Structure 1
Amino acid sequence: MGLRTGDPGAVGDYVLEARLGSGGMGTVYLARDRAGRPVAVKVVHRHLADDAEFRERFAREVSAARRVTGASTVRVLDAGVADDVPWMATEFVAAPALQAQVEAHGPLGEAELRRLAAGLAAALRDIHRAGVVHRDLKPGNVLLAADGPRVIDFGVSRAADHHTLTVTGRVIGSPPFMAPEQLARPRDVGPAADVFALGALLVYAATGAGPFDDDSPYLIAHRVVAAPADLGGTPEWLRPLVRRCLAKDPGERPTPAEVLAAVSGPGRRVRLRLRVGRAVRRGVAVGLAVGLLAVVGADGRSEDAVRGVVAGTPEGWRPWATRLLPNVHEGPTCAPPTQGALFCAQGSGPLTRFDPATGRAEWRKKYTGEEYPVPHLLAASSDLVLVQTEGDGTELAVHVVDAATGTTLWHQVKDSKYVAVAPVSGISRGVVALVNEGAVIGYEGRSGRRLWSRTLPYTEACGLRMLDDVVVTSCATSDENSMTTVVAAFRTRDGERLWSRTHPYLLKPLAADAEKIVVGVSTSDRRRLGILDPDTGRLGVLAEQPDPLMDPDPPGVLAADVYYESADDSTVSAVDLRTGRRLWRRTLEFDSPGAPAVGDRLVLVSSPTGRVAALDRATGEVRWTSGPAPGARLPLGVGGFTPGILGSALYVPCGGGILFSLDVNAPDPQPPTAA
């Protein structure tokens, strides 16, 4: 709608063009900045501008919104909290609110609900990490943008560690989506209240009605506090999750990360997570997958060496793009490329070998039937490819595939107790190693003949890393009083135990070369980097990083004694392993970056939708960024994809089943369009 009589023509440096809406606190306008770009400007109502309590509340909204970053919120561009009439300018998102969408078109379908739940869980994760509780998550505060939902309006939010700002005679929030503690104990409201609101919001999106709807706000508030949620019409697959979210006791509700895992489903997460703090604080023993998959090819180089500085663009290469599967949100996962082959797998789709020069599919292997339908690429060498498949969520199998033809040579069913543990397997010197049945087992690569088996100390939290002629295993356990990791090394050819050491930490192998393994050293409240000597098992812990990362399990890559890593707070950093000093750290313009690829002069990171950022390897300065891949979709799960590099050719998987390559040395590289 256009401007009305009495509306200002400009606010700050922004020219107002139209009204977008009006609420109890103020009016939101569509405006333009000096460069002509659209922005949203929120101007408080004039009669509230002299209210000191309200001005404090509005200043707090601006502060909270500025603290929160991520793909599922909107960025604050400018604000005038001290002006006669306070205002705030944010990104403009051309998208309907969830409430308007449901009122106009009815409840959402399953795919839309999963995407909504994943996006909102990611938003709450970012909000809570910033130390903020939103307190007013409702359908009117969720925008359904093309690249995923956005949470807006921090008008009643507060810092998690500050007292609630009261408003005399009024309850702050929206009763149908308020948690019981907001109504009964407003000063005790914490992040779990937002999870309660998420549960109520998902019921609304699935049915068109809230779980506590009634004839008046007072009856609604009574039902929120004392009555069970009405889940009539809620899809069966969604009920267990929303029932947990809507628990009356805040301690019984899931975290945003647990919501995200629940809606992403089996096999949709592409990155391993090491969650320590919450389970340890509650005194619950945790089973943690502390190993990381590695592969050594026929030339003896580890995966990280191949993914590190690689010379030689494939002969005849030109930028190309292809789509493994149409009409999907997920993206492929790929092994590091070599001069002759690029192997990628797509959940619910085929395992494919591509020509890295042309993007032509040289063969496709489709896993069909009820038993083994979903492939996950584990490792690849010049001779063999390892793929894990899963059927109904209770049976896992590792398949060994001929790299030249795509023929399955043999497979091994994994013990069902390992379903919750990330796949741990690798190839080195023609030997396939697998953690299974409470042991690490070595198989002859092409025949599948069992060569050796060695029992591991714990049965549900073990992983491995292969370093040429050595298999290094790590098994972790923890309870409310202690954390322990047992690390051991076995000779690849015959399984002879070379050494075994016990460390009083949770260790997470992150990257390796022939001389060292970079590990995350975690306790319940902090995470440091360490170096594990593969010859002796001795651990050297580097000085604690000056700004501990949000995510204790970021992906990383090792190149020339420098460890490069991405993190869930949208940062990329470089650490000199000789001194423990952080060389640089940069914040990206996109969320959920994957593991870096390291070129001669650049560190390259991509987003789930195929945006690429190129950073100077020495300084971390951003040299260029690209837009998203045409046709890319935001995956349902959170976690960026890992690009690969050969000379000037960067290979980038992204959501929507798309794989593309671009020239990292071009003046303005942009993703090509997939056919």
Structure 2
Amino acid sequence: MSLSPEGTDAESMGSIGGYELIDRLGSGGMGVVYLARAASGRQVAVKLIHAPYARDEEFRVRFRQEVAAARRVSGAFTAPVVDADPDAEQPWMATLYVPGRTLSETVTKEGPLGGRELRTLGLGLVEALRDIHQAGLVHRDLKPSNVLMAEDGPRVIDFGISRATDNQALTVTGRLIGTPPFMSPEQFATPRDVTAASDVFSLGSLLVYAATGTRPFNADSPYMTGYQVMHEAPVLDGVGEPLLSIVERCLDKDPAARPGTAELHRMLRTLPDSLEAAAVPEPRPQDPRPRPGRPGAVAPTQVMGESGGTAATGAGTGTGTGTGTGRVRRGRRVLVSLAAALAVTGLSLATMRLVSDSDTTPQRHKDSGSPTARGPRAAALPAGWEPWRTDLTRDSGGIDPISYAESGCLRGRDAVYCAGSGFTVTKVDAASGRTLWRSGTNPQEVRPVGARGGLVYAYSLPDDAAAGNRIRKLVALDAGTGKQRWARRIGDVDAEAHLFSRGVLTISASTTEFVAYASSGAELWRSSASAPGGKSCVPLVLGGAPYGLCSSDDDPYGAPMSLVRFDASDGTRSDVATLPPTAEALGVVGGQFLFSVLEDPNKVAQSVGDWSYAGLVRVNPDSGAVKEVPLAEPPRGSATLADGAVYVVRQDGVVTAVSATTGKQLWRRATEVEGLSVPVFSATYGDLYFANRYGRLLALDRDTGAERWRTSSMDDLGDSSGDNTPSLLLVEDAIVAVAGDTVFSVRPDRPATPSATGG
């Protein structure tokens, strides 16, 4: 990428990604937009992200995902993405250049649009939103300056970057993306739960602007404009029928009451070629008391008591616009501060600090010593515990690690045992973070197996791994010293081992037998991994007993799975049940085994970690009876069983809770925290804890999914922070998390991430 300083001639501006820069079209808070030319002569609009955001790894993750999603939007009324490099030193994205003025420029210079123009505009925008929503995106910043008026119809722009920039909610608490006059109420009240219905609300405001030249929500400050959007009726003076009825439905405060794009398209098709403007009412008498915005508006100071609660007012005087206290009560979300003035520029992203009455509870853990809704005032912690942070890396001797990206720790008696990318098995004191010992020379990129009876079980590569030998070893280490007690070959890099009641269950190096070892390393028994269906087998431990899950097909997702049980003492095998091809064990609920089932086997290889689940399967271990539990709304992500419910965590931070008994969705929360770990449940506080790959911690209420608290991301987590799956566990109530090459510990009632590094 080559760029010249700003202000130079177009011929000397340089290039981005091989696109010759012709002119500078505009700039905004997130970046600069250039008109550029490809080698073929095609003109494109190149958006170059500002350097501060380019250095934010979480922004890059979101930008990379949104570029991939935006590439799928290819409708006639959008400007498609033609090229991008989210991994460049400064990320950029190129969209097809659409010549033409923006809608805001058109209305300013030529006045409001007529009936036929409005119909063409409305239908084009609805089709654009349909394509954007079908690609899994929500625009979030639909406004006149993001609509280009091309000769053959409108074009919606900036649908690729608008959601990427919402990542700022991750790194700066309370920041929100949007332009207040064209935002929806839910963008202010619950920005992490915004759906496609938000864009419909914005479209309603945009159509009012196009038809009248004025905005339905328009106060002297962004603060009060946001208040009007959330609590007051829109000003629709000058909007005639049938457009009036359409925009009134679009501007309903309740997202569920707004029309979908299909219904909206049918309604807009009925617009006539000419629209009569509605009669503008005579000015009404104003209440003599000062009112922000327009007459009859209820000021925030009139509906907030000293403690932040609501107080009765005399706002409903009958002399205003009919937006008295009744409307406020139905959906009160009160803005309490303005962080900065809003800049409406080329990329036009408004950044506000917002808090609602329902959003104050997530902050309660952050107050020093403040109690949570459940449990004691202070967490139960290991003796002498203090917040700590420890780097786990050590020179690996030049031997390549196993490519498994499953770094993590497991709990011991008074310590944690960790293994993963760039570091070997390491014992860390749970109270201080001090490194007690390291074992081996080969980093494994896979978590240890377990700790029991004075031993730590882990994986290791053979001595000739550098020569291409990838047979994995199961090793037993002395928990006190880290010295190896014994090692056994168990199979290739995917071979697993699990602790059961009498020893360790694994698969043989030939993958044809299940093998159990005692704590001494002695072989307890072997059992065939053949009929029925033994071409692909994995060991399982359910309820402390040894099991296996086998497929009769070389493709593990191409044939039904056989669940088999082994006698713990001698390995005698018995067939239990036949399960769907994509069944994966989750655990035990109410004495029954629970498995997840993928919706489409073909998606497994295409989107690892972001699977779509069709249902659950419950198996009675005594009778072998199988009960299928369908999921009415198949969630996407990676499923985990915790505290009797299934939690599906998507890579983009959406968490869905599903009943393990009925399959009913309990709640869904868009956390906007990328790359989350599987959740860990705290019985003390009733919360689910997550870590992400950048060291951020998140707590959600187990019952509702409401956010209890979140921490800031951490710096200098090591080279593997962008690749490794994060993890966490509890030692008593202390949270111990692994992100990148770093393990750290915080207390859940005061969870600020530590900056000091342990020994």
TM-score by length of 1: 0.55
Once the two structures are superposed, residues 595-614 of structure 1 have per-residue CA deviations (whole angstroms, 9 ceiling, x without a partner) of 11111321111222222221
1:483-494 aligned at under 5 Å gives the runs 483-494=559-570
Instruction: Find the partner of 1:545 among 631, 634, 638.
Output: 631
| Distance verdict in 2 for CA 1:614–1:75, change over 3 Å | farther
Q: Secondary structure at the match of 2:560?
A: strand
Instruction: Find the partner of 1:450 among 503, 523, 527.
Output: 523
| Distance verdict in 2 for CA 1:387–1:79, change over 3 Å | farther
Q: Secondary structure at the match of 2:449?
A: strand
Contact 1:557 1:595 in 2 (8 A): no
Instruction: Find the partner of 2:484 among 408, 425, 442.
Output: 408
| Distance verdict in 2 for CA 1:21–1:15, change over 3 Å | closer
* CA positional deviation for 1:514: 7.8
1:114-193 aligned at under 5 Å gives the runs none
Corresponding residue number in structure 2 for 1:661: 745
1:298-377 aligned at under 5 Å gives the runs 312-325=380-393, 333-367=407-441, 374=444, 376-377=446-447
1:431-470 aligned at under 5 Å gives the runs 431-436=503-508, 437=510, 438-445=512-519, 447-457=520-530, 458-467=533-542, 469-470=544-545
Contact 2:394 2:424 in 1 (8 A): no
Overall identity of the aligned pairs, in %: 19
Kindly provide the amino acid, as one letter, of the partner of residue 473 in structure 1: G
Contact 1:487 1:537 in 2 (8 A): no
- In 1, the alpha carbon distance for the partners of 2:631 and 2:450 equals 33
Contact 1:483 1:523 in 2 (8 A): no
- Are 2:134 and 1:47 equivalent residues in the alignment? no
Corresponding residue number in structure 1 for 2:696: 611
Once the two structures are superposed, residues 335-384 of structure 1 have per-residue CA deviations (whole angstroms, 9 ceiling, x without a partner) of 4324512110023422011111111112110235xxxx646334212322
- In 2, the alpha carbon distance for the partners of 1:358 and 1:18 equals 43
Contact 2:542 2:587 in 1 (8 A): no
* CA positional deviation for 1:455: 0.5
Q: Secondary structure at the match of 1:643?
A: strand
* CA positional deviation for 1:519: 0.8
Corresponding residue number in structure 2 for 1:596: 679
Corresponding residue number in structure 2 for 1:562: 645
- Are 2:3 and 1:22 equivalent residues in the alignment? no
Where do 5+ consecutive residues of structure 2 fail to align? 10-23, 37-42, 51-58, 64-91, 107-116, 151-155, 166-378, 397-402, 602-612
* CA positional deviation for 1:529: 1.4
Q: Secondary structure at the match of 1:500?
A: strand
Contact 1:648 1:665 in 2 (8 A): no
- In 1, the alpha carbon distance for the partners of 2:735 and 2:569 equals 35
**Greater relative CO, 1 or 2 (CA 8 Å, sep 6+):** 1
Once the two structures are superposed, residues 390-435 of structure 1 have per-residue CA deviations (whole angstroms, 9 ceiling, x without a partner) of 32353221112222221212111134xx44xx33211233411112
Once the two structures are superposed, residues 532-586 of structure 1 have per-residue CA deviations (whole angstroms, 9 ceiling, x without a partner) of 23334332221x22332334xx241331x22233233532222222332221121
* CA positional deviation for 1:496: 3.0
- In 1, the alpha carbon distance for the partners of 2:592 and 2:744 equals 33
* CA positional deviation for 1:442: 1.4
Contact 2:490 2:506 in 1 (8 A): no
| Distance verdict in 2 for CA 1:491–1:630, change over 3 Å | same
* CA positional deviation for 1:88: 3.4
- In 1, the alpha carbon distance for the partners of 2:521 and 2:46 equals 68
Corresponding residue number in structure 2 for 1:275: none
- In 2, the alpha carbon distance for the partners of 1:16 and 1:340 equals 49
Instruction: Find the partner of 1:424 among 496, 503, 509.
Output: 496
* CA positional deviation for 1:636: 7.7
* CA positional deviation for 1:509: 0.6
| Distance verdict in 2 for CA 1:581–1:25, change over 3 Å | same
Kindly provide the amino acid, as one letter, of the partner of residue 573 in structure 2: R
CA-based RMSD of the aligned residues comes to: 4.7
- In 1, the alpha carbon distance for the partners of 2:723 and 2:625 equals 34
Contact 2:424 2:441 in 1 (8 A): yes
* CA positional deviation for 1:635: 3.6
- In 1, the alpha carbon distance for the partners of 2:445 and 2:730 equals 23
Would you say how many aligned residue pairs link Structure 1 and Structure 2?
A: 435
Kindly provide the amino acid, as one letter, of the partner of residue 424 in structure 1: E
Kindly provide the amino acid, as one letter, of the partner of residue 34 in structure 2: G
Corresponding residue number in structure 2 for 1:277: none
* CA positional deviation for 1:334: 2.7
Q: Secondary structure at the match of 2:158?
A: strand
* CA positional deviation for 1:646: 3.0
- In 2, the alpha carbon distance for the partners of 1:45 and 1:83 equals 7
- In 2, the alpha carbon distance for the partners of 1:579 and 1:358 equals 43
- In 1, the alpha carbon distance for the partners of 2:129 and 2:469 equals 44
Kindly provide the amino acid, as one letter, of the partner of residue 623 in structure 1: R
Contact 1:389 1:398 in 2 (8 A): yes
Once the two structures are superposed, residues 182-233 of structure 1 have per-residue CA deviations (whole angstroms, 9 ceiling, x without a partner) of xxxxxxxxxxxxxxxxxxxxxxxxxxxxxxxxxxxxxxxxxxxxxxxxxxxx
Corresponding residue number in structure 2 for 1:389: 460
Instruction: Find the partner of 2:622 among 527, 530, 535.
Output: 535
- In 1, the alpha carbon distance for the partners of 2:739 and 2:437 equals 21
Instruction: Find the partner of 1:627 among 704, 708, 712.
Output: 712
Once the two structures are superposed, residues 135-189 of structure 1 have per-residue CA deviations (whole angstroms, 9 ceiling, x without a partner) of xxxxxxxxxxxxxxxxxxxxxxxxxxxxxxxxxxxxxxxxxxxxxxxxxxxxxxx
Kindly provide the amino acid, as one letter, of the partner of residue 380 in structure 1: G
Corresponding residue number in structure 1 for 2:733: 648
Kindly provide the amino acid, as one letter, of the partner of residue 632 in structure 2: P
- In 2, the alpha carbon distance for the partners of 1:629 and 1:540 equals 44
Q: Secondary structure at the match of 1:591?
A: coil
Once the two structures are superposed, residues 71-104 of structure 1 have per-residue CA deviations (whole angstroms, 9 ceiling, x without a partner) of xxx986555444669653846999xxxxxxxxxx
- In 2, the alpha carbon distance for the partners of 1:75 and 1:354 equals 46
Once the two structures are superposed, residues 5-41 of structure 1 have per-residue CA deviations (whole angstroms, 9 ceiling, x without a partner) of 9xxx999xx978985533335475989xxxxxx9999
Kindly provide the amino acid, as one letter, of the partner of residue 548 in structure 1: P
Contact 1:324 1:332 in 2 (8 A): no
Corresponding residue number in structure 2 for 1:111: none
Contact 1:363 1:406 in 2 (8 A): yes
| Distance verdict in 2 for CA 1:69–1:615, change over 3 Å | farther
Corresponding residue number in structure 1 for 2:551: 476
Q: Secondary structure at the match of 2:753?
A: coil
* CA positional deviation for 1:444: 1.2
- In 1, the alpha carbon distance for the partners of 2:654 and 2:436 equals 36
| Distance verdict in 2 for CA 1:54–1:462, change over 3 Å | farther
Q: Secondary structure at the match of 1:453?
A: strand
| Distance verdict in 2 for CA 1:389–1:397, change over 3 Å | same
- In 2, the alpha carbon distance for the partners of 1:359 and 1:30 equals 38
Where do 5+ consecutive residues of structure 1 fail to align? 32-37, 95-310
Kindly provide the amino acid, as one letter, of the partner of residue 487 in structure 2: H
Instruction: Find the partner of 1:398 among 460, 463, 474.
Output: 474
- In 2, the alpha carbon distance for the partners of 1:474 and 1:91 equals 45
Q: Secondary structure at the match of 1:353?
A: strand
- In 2, the alpha carbon distance for the partners of 1:461 and 1:641 equals 28
Contact 2:422 2:445 in 1 (8 A): yes
Corresponding residue number in structure 2 for 1:230: none
Kindly provide the amino acid, as one letter, of the partner of residue 317 in structure 1: W
Kindly provide the amino acid, as one letter, of the partner of residue 550 in structure 1: R
* CA positional deviation for 1:333: 2.4
| Distance verdict in 2 for CA 1:451–1:19, change over 3 Å | closer
Q: Secondary structure at the match of 1:493?
A: coil
Contact 1:66 1:76 in 2 (8 A): no
- In 2, the alpha carbon distance for the partners of 1:514 and 1:405 equals 39
- In 2, the alpha carbon distance for the partners of 1:473 and 1:330 equals 22
Contact 1:595 1:640 in 2 (8 A): no
